[in-house]
Amino acid sequence: MRNTTTLALATAGVLAIGLAGCSTGGEGDAAPAAETSAAASPAPVELTQASFVSDLTAAQNEARTVHLSMTHSGPAAEESGLTEEGLEADIDMTDPENPAMAMQMEMDGELADIVFAGGDLYMNLGEVTTGKYLSLAEAAESDNPMAEMFAGIGDMLDGTLQDMDPAAQLDGMEDAITSFEKTGTETVDGVETDVYTILVDPTKVTGPQVEDLPQDVLEQMGEMEVVYKIDGDNLPRAVEMTMNIEGKELVTSGSFTDWGQVTEIAAPSGDELITFDEMVASMG
């Protein structure tokens, strides 16, 4: 059986890293995404703790789109089966009021396609949904007892996706930082980056990444290490978060590519959809 504490903290790690790669910032009409590449990225300029949040947020507001890859490792991840579960996602913040995400992730050995668009959440669970997308908003309206399970998944993912704001996440960490240091340089996917190692006191973190975690769980974690690899456009190319759960290490790693490249994420419609009742009927 999976360790529920590990799962809760892994979810927090997914949110924290995911928020490092997207933004709702800016006022007025959204500017077109600014394409970036390894060839175009300038040499990094060293950041300070005072400017770190504002510099990263401004850069992400300009880029608007990104592809995120995420994995878990470490003894705590191995015990909970998280090492087999990866995540790939395209994130589009071109319209800050209507963020969109298309994501593929492993869930108990099965590949799930998840789309968040137009404020609604859709899941394609392969054979379970007959290869079609189920609207979790529609499923939540069913009286079938099975609907509660989908409603729970929907609540967890919907809250995560609607809080796609790196400013909120980084601001939530700002007062919890106990150490900030540039610890080297590294080339990531052909892009030169500066490496920053930050130590964070989880009990002082605020915002969506920790609001559902009990205080005693946060206290057990001790200091959390977050390593950012930042390019010359002040965009994260990789983030690694290390935390301890009951004395066992959990590492959540995220890599970011395709900053500023045009992506189209549309809500499923018509024959792409299956109703909750149709899904239940297909199960026999």
Domains of the chain by residue range: 4-282
In 3D space, the residue among 77, 132, 56 whose CA is nearest the CA of residue 253 turns out to be 77
**C-alpha–C-alpha distance, residues 230 and 249, integer Å:** 24
Q: Position of tokens 């915002």?
A: 207
Region of poorest pLDDT, from 42-46, 204-208, 236-240, 271-275 = 204-208
Q: Position of tokens 């995420």?
A: 70
3-state secondary structure of 51: helix
3-state secondary structure of 240: strand
Contact 105, 112 (CB under 8 A): yes
CB atoms within 10 A of CB 193: 23
Quick one: tokens of 128?
A: 């379970």
Contacts of 111 (CB under 8 A, 6+ apart): 104, 105, 126
pLDDT of residue 20: 54
Q: Determine the Cα angle at 274 with ends 271 and 279, to 5°.
A: 145
In 3D space, the residue among 255, 252, 256 whose CA is nearest the CA of residue 8 turns out to be 252
pLDDT of residue 208: 61
**C-alpha–C-alpha distance, residues 257 and 238, integer Å:** 9
User: pLDDT tens for residues 123-168?
Assistant: 998 988 999 999 988 888 888 888 877 776 766 665 555 555 555 5
Residue 272 — φ and ψ, nearest 5°?
-75, -15
Strand blocks (E) in 189-234: 191-200, 224-230
pLDDT of residue 90: 92
User: pLDDT tens for residues 9-46?
Assistant: 555 554 455 445 554 444 444 444 455 544 467 889 99
Torsion of CA 38, 43, 49, 54, to 10 degrees: -60
The CATH number that domain 4-282 falls under is: 2.50.20.20
User: pLDDT tens for residues 177-215?
Assistant: 899 999 999 999 999 999 999 998 888 887 666 666 677
Half-sphere exposure of 138 (CA within 13 A, CB side): 12
Contact 138, 275 (CB under 8 A): yes
